[in-house]
Structure 1
């Protein structure tokens, strides 16, 4: 065994143990979802003695009490719309503050930085009251509109742009490119890792949000997947751990897929930030 390998072996062992500990709840959840009701309540074994798909079949067949496909559609639509709006608006806002002669730029930047210190939960009641007064509760509007911008995203992209040299932009201006062309062909490819990281963080935040959807939705058809699963846990399926785990597995898959796809952009963003 090489000397370098011997030195790194203890680190690999510790890292493997830590990874297993982190993955153990996920593994237990997946295996429990394939157990029968009686086994999930009585057995302490991780692996099921008799594998079954009845929990997944039961979830997708219970379209009245638990329309999980409808909840998944709501979550996908709300999350996609909110993520796109956050990334689009934050890029425009950060670019305007970093590159354009915006009147009162210092005041606006001060307000953006001050907003970072305000907990999001403080804004829940005023936002709820506005949507209630406008008669927009239990619709897609209050589920999407609050996610249209992120001060943290503006802060991240702004700090990236002020450290980015303007030579490429000036060259594009000389070649006759417009402001939008420069933003799309020069700026966006440069900040793409940062924008993708912001998109993933926003996606996971909206996807996992429970408190806000629980305030602005009333009907079963307007629930998100997180709120719907909470309803299952609090309702008749509370005595069925296997079915609860099956619904949680279904809800977890989209988030894992998005994270795996965007993982390389997150790593690239962190690497670029470290280099700078």
Structure 2
């Protein structure tokens, strides 16, 4: 019995050391954001000697060179709209492939598998050329519209629907419901963990995206928070680590809050998507 408790304590200690190693960069970011300019440049300690909120005051002053609230609003519009667009198109496409008599269904599914093997960066040039031809550059639309093509999302929801019992949908049709009512009231509540998981992954991808937005958005007022932080780091404030860490922390907090509420659905979605 004593050996069992000793092994458990040893395991917990090892887990704490590993957790601290992974949390150390986040702790460094947090504490550095509360350091003044001189201390942030010269101090070698983790905790600040003098705590200050000046970095956050400068950040949220929302000047013309760093309109942080505008960046956050643009990011919210892009991530929410893009996520809704991808989930809507993916659910409709997956349900059509899994249940409706779509011509050439096998070829479409095989095409989805092949499309997942294509690197996303390969599509950047044709997309850029298309948006340039229709004069949509330097707007939020190029950041939102490509989100509708969620090949991985379609394929995962499609695979989950293959294991979903058709009898429940047939019962709804017998009761007089149409296809969209069956999808909304019967299918979606059952696949909610998988849909929420894909929505969260899509949200993270859009929120953290940098390369594609940097190609299509140059105007200050249309930047997302990732582009804004990059501008702060590469601009005149690159010598102020405290301001850089404060801006990074502000960008991380919304994702952490959303993950806290979506965590149980994400875990459940990953579990159910692997069970047939």
TM tier, shorter chain? over 0.9
CA distance in 1, matches of 2:274, 2:114: 25
* Alignment match, 2:272: 272
CA distance in 2, matches of 1:18, 1:186: 43
CA distance in 2, matches of 1:50, 1:241: 15
CA distance in 1, matches of 2:125, 2:36: 43
Offset at residue 11 of structure 1 (A)? 2.4
State TM-score, norm by structure 1: 0.97
Kept after mapping to 1: 8 A contact 2:194/2:273: no
CA distance in 2, matches of 1:269, 1:10: 32
Kept after mapping to 1: 8 A contact 2:194/2:272: no
* Alignment match, 1:65: 65
* Alignment match, 1:216: 216
Query: In the superposition, relative to structure 1, how do residues 155 and 2 fare at CA in structure 2: closer, same or farther (>3 Å)?
Result: farther
Q: Secondary structure at the match of 1:230?
A: helix
* Alignment match, 1:93: 93
- Taking only aligned residues, the RMSD between alpha carbons, in angstroms, comes to 1.3
How many residues align? The count is 276
* Alignment match, 1:106: 106
CA distance in 2, matches of 1:168, 1:183: 11
Offset at residue 4 of structure 1 (A)? 4.7
* Alignment match, 1:84: 84
Q: After superposing the two structures, state which structure 1 stretch, 265-274 or 38-47, moved more.
A: 265-274
State TM-score, norm by structure 2: 0.97
The unaligned stretches of length 5 or more in structure 1 are none
The unaligned stretches of length 5 or more in structure 2 are none
Kept after mapping to 1: 8 A contact 2:59/2:68: yes
Q: How does 1:114-193 map to 2 (within 5 A)?
A: 114-193=114-193
